[in-house]
């Protein structure tokens, strides 16, 4: 459940045109997913085994394969960028876009559109590269924007530590609670770090990419903005159990 009024206020406050890069990234990810074989909406991709084969080829072409990337294959060097716009399911896409909408808008407002765009793409690349280096022999394909979005969360932690985040936690009977962003984001990062330690290189969530992205994003914001005043944002929102 999203506190849409709070998120919208945080996204639009202090800017005339709105977070155009954030909205553009969301639109690009959604459009590319809808026309991809993963969505299953385009008849030309076939059905049944033919559709499954098309999906596998799609992931292999545009996703990160650590073994190929670390081998020095020139084509594979671009995949950490293309993989940021590829998602494995509707749930994967919607979860990532939700986090990007809520946290990306305010980060973009603080950084400006050009810097935010370069930050998003650069940190996303580093996050996926870090995972690939740690699992250099893996043939599993890695896709999704979660590394870049984790970097946005890390930057948000430094830039807006006192903003209030509304979260729903299933183990608390979905009771909506408001916490400072630094509590929610540090808790989220701790979960990712613990999960990364327990995870292997097989199919599943690339928690290590989350950890790398979050760390790089926080360090970038710290190095870039530590000499200035951090914004005291009043409203942001997230969902307790969604994972970018």
What residue ranges do the domains of the chain occupy?
A: 4-237
Residue 198 is predicted with a pLDDT of 76
* Strands of 175-180's sheet in order across: 175-180, 164-169, 236-237
Candidate from 69-73, 80-84, 128-132, 186-190 with smallest mean pLDDT: 186-190
Task: Count Cβ atoms below 10 Å from residue 56 Cβ, excluding itself.
Answer: 12
Query: How do residues 130-164 score in pLDDT, each as one tens digit?
Result: 999 999 999 999 999 999 999 999 999 999 988 87
Residue 169: which H helix or E strand, with range?
Answer: strand 164-169
Residue that wins the pLDDT comparison between 115 and 238: 115
pLDDT band for 213, please (50, 70, 90 cuts): very high
pTM above 0.85, yes or no: no
Residue that wins the pLDDT comparison between 166 and 221: 221
CB contact at 8 A, 117 and 23: no
**CATH ID of 4-237, from 3.50.50.60, 1.20.1540.10, 1.10.10.60, 2.40.50.140:** 1.20.1540.10
CA–CA separation, 185 vs 83, rounded Å? 24
**Closest to 92 in 3D by CA, of 11, 53, 149:** 149
Residue 233 is predicted with a pLDDT of 45
């Amino acid at each position: 459940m999203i506190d849409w009024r709070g998120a919208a206020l945080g996204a639009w406050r202090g800017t005339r045109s709105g977070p155009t890069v954030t909205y553009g990234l969301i639109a690009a990810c959604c459009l590319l997913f809808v026309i991809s074989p993963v969505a299953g909406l385009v008849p030309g991709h076939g059905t049944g085994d033919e559709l499954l084969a098309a999906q596998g080829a799609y992931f292999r072409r545009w996703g990160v394969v650590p073994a190929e990337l670390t081998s020095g294959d020139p084509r594979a060097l671009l995949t950490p960028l293309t993989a940021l716009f590829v998602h494995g399911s509707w749930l994967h896409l919607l979860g990532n876009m939700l986090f990007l909408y809520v946290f990306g808008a305010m980060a973009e407002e603080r950084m400006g559109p050009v810097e935010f765009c370069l930050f998003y793409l650069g940190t996303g690349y580093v996050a996926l590269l870090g995972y690939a280096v740690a699992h250099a022999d893996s043939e599993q394909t890695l896709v999704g924007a979660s590394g870049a979005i984790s970097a946005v969360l890390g930057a948000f932690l430094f830039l807006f530590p006192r903003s209030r985040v509304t979260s729903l936690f299933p183990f608390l009977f979905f009771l909506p609670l408001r916490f400072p962003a630094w509590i929610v984001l540090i808790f989220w990062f701790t979960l990712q770090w613990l999960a990364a330690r327990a995870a292997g290189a097989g199919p599943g969530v690339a928690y290590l990419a989350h950890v790398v992205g979050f760390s790089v994003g926080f360090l970038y914001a710290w190095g870039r903005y530590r000499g200035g005043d951090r914004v005291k944002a009043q409203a942001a929102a997230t969902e307790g159990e969604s994972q970018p």
